[in-house]
Structure 1
Amino acid sequence: MTRHVSAALLAAAALALGGCATAVPPVEVTRFHTNAAPSWAPGTRYAIATAPLDAPGTFDAPRTRPPGAAMPSLEWNSYRAAVDQQLQRQGLVPAGSGERAPLLVRISFDRAEQLPEGGRSPVSVGVGGSTGSYGSGVGLGIGINLGGGPKRMADLQLFVRIDNAATGQALWEGRALTAVPVKAPANQPSLAAAKLAEALFKDFPGESGRTISVK
């Protein structure tokens, strides 16, 4: 079932796209977390999992990558670096090689092109991926081209989950999503990853269960 975002968010995205060819539309962000404030204390160490986030959580994983499918390393590195940077901005500290950390961070991302008839391309690039109760579509795939027909849009999504490394319990998880013109600079992996990660960690850990729009 495709989820429709608010009219206000769609309108804002349309204005952003129409006003500037390189503008990035608003990013829709939702976070969930437990009452684990001590986990976010400055100086707490974390490790980023090398495997993609495939385990279901609040955002249930509807699909996994085919067996043997290679991880898109360049794009993965872009998202990993962007999340790593945001975690350190929160005062968290990356664990050293071989060091045990109390927090384990799992990452997945997805990028798929919107089809002219409104669906999503069956061919997408991503690691893991999850939408759960939020539906299987982003719902932001609109674009206004003042010179004629609609622009081709790409759905961009980032998922991050922070686990208690010892127990595997999810302490925090969030999703950031937006849509950008396929040919826009904002669709480049490094720029997309930076924008989504920055939005996802805005006012970290954020209000649990609330969806916000981050420009």
Structure 2
Amino acid sequence: MKLHLNAALLGAAALALGGCATVVPPVEVTRFHNAVPGWAPGTRYAIATAPVDGPAAGMPSIEWNSYRTAVDQQLQRQGLVAAGSGDSATLLVRIGFDRSERVSGGGNSPVSVGVGGSTGGYRSGVGLGVGFSFGGGPRRIYDLQLSVRIDDAASGNALWEGRAIAAVPAKAPAAQPSLAAAKLADALFKDFPGESGRTISVP
């Protein structure tokens, strides 16, 4: 009986640890726009290029490309079309992302900022207050933020902008750049354009 009990406890522990390892935290999303964007499917867009000496300088190209690709895919799902090198674009899309690292648990304060990048568009200084406690002492947490702004290319006026933020355990699969970028971009464009000025939590 004792042997069976120990086996059951070990099995439950393994399931619990497995759940912690694969957890995908919710994403907090806020969007802003004056009215529902009126562009039609097929409208061409271009993604602004980050300045060489700007915030994007020196950032890991793999991480930047992950966020750019994830946003690109979401835009195309809205019926927009990426403009070619010789095509004029009606919309200009600016993308920014930030990743900072902190230690959660054990009485430690937030630690050094990691990497970040932006095309020079919308960047938010909003801090994250979300944390996860799985026990076992201090845990490294990545605070992630993706921001996107869509401008009218001719006038430069902002038509739509939004941000998505999440706190992810550094060792979780969701912390990988490709998965994190896809998760945040999917949440940001959920039910696009979204209710202006409202913050929602996307599972």
Q: Tell me which residue corresponds to 2:11.
A: none
Match of 1:203 among 160, 169, 191: 191
Partner secondary structure for residue 176 of structure 1: strand
1:127 to 117, 126, 150: 117
Alignment of 1:63-102 (within 5 A): 65=55, 69-102=57-90
User: Which deviates further from its counterpart, 202-211 or 116-125?
Assistant: 116-125
* Percent pairwise identity: 69
TM-superposed deviation, 1:94: 0.8
Q: How far apart, in 1, do the equivalents of 2:37 and 2:123 lie?
A: 25
Describe the superposition over 1:45-84 as per-residue Cα deviations: whole angstroms up to 9, x where unpaired.
11111127xxxxxxxxxxx639xx4242111100000000
What TM-score does the superposition give when structure 2 sets the normalisation length? 0.81
Match of 1:13 in 2: none
1:170-185 paired onto structure 2 within 5 Å: 170-185=158-173
Aligned counterparts, 1:5-154, within 5 A: 19-35=19-35, 37-39=37-39, 41-51=40-50, 65=55, 69-116=57-104, 117=107, 119-128=109-118, 130-132=123-125, 135=126, 137-140=127-130, 142-146=131-135, 148-154=136-142
Task: Please state how far the C-alpha of 1:19 moved relative to its aligned partner.
Answer: 4.0
Shift of 1:119: 4.5
Cα distance in structure 2, aligned partners of 1:18 and 1:207: 36
Quote the offset at 1:183 in angstroms. 1.0
Q: Which runs of 5+ in 2 are unaligned?
A: 1-16
Task: Point out the structure with max Rg over C-alpha.
Answer: 2
Letter aligned with residue 144 of structure 2 = L
Q: CA deviation at 1:36?
A: 5.0
Cα distance in 1 for partners of 2:37, 2:78 equals 12
Is the 8 Å Cα contact of residues 112 and 120 (structure 1) preserved in structure 2? no
TM-score (norm 1): 0.77
Long gaps (5+) in structure 1: 1-16, 53-63
